[in-house]
Structure 1
Amino acid sequence: MSRYKQEAGMPTADVCRRHGISSATFYKWKSKYGGLEVSDARRLSQLEQENERLKKLLADSMLDNAMLKEINAKKF
């Protein structure tokens, strides 16, 4: 919504002040979500969260694998 206000001519500083964000945050969000509809932005957020969860699972699995290899190497 604030993107539309800014595009409609409302100064960026006023939009930022109204929503309690810095202009740097505004432009960062604008570059990331600029052409997306709300539903697309939500889906992107969900995908990023899922990606983060999968990365953690992979890291845990790799750590477990490395520990098992180390234990197995010490047995022989």
Structure 2
Amino acid sequence: MKVKEVYRRHDISAAIYFDWRSRYGGMSAQALHRLKELEGDLSQCGQTPAESARENSALKALTEPKT
């Protein structure tokens, strides 16, 4: 089966297919499953690490005594 037939059968564009292939093409099924788990955990967190760090520094600045 040719690549064109695959993305036509699944109703996706060639750009989407090749983007997916560049991101996940070399991964094993186990690694891909783990990546999806981690992405799900991160989305449940609600904050990115940068947002958390910014919030922590703001709280620290508020709680420190002024000199």
TM-score, normalising length from structure 1? Answer: 0.55
Other structure's SS at 1:66 match: helix
Q: Does 1 or 2 have the higher relative contact order (CA < 8 Å, sep 6+)? A: 1
- Whether 1:59 aligns to 2:50 is yes
The Cα shift of 1:20 comes to 1.3
Query: Residue 26 of structure 1: which of 17, 22, 30 is its match?
Result: 17
Structure with a larger share of its residues in helix: 1
Q: Does 1:35 align with 2:26?
A: yes
SS at match of 2:35: helix
Superposed displacement of residue 71, structure 1: 2.4
SS at match of 1:61: helix
TM-fit CA distance, 1:75: 5.0
Aligned length: 65
Of 58, 61, 65, the residue aligned with 1:70 is: 61
- Which segments of 5 or more consecutive residues in structure 1 lack a partner in the other structure? 1-9
Point out where structure 2 has 5 or more consecutive residues left out of the alignment: none
Are positions 1:11 and 2:7 aligned together?
no
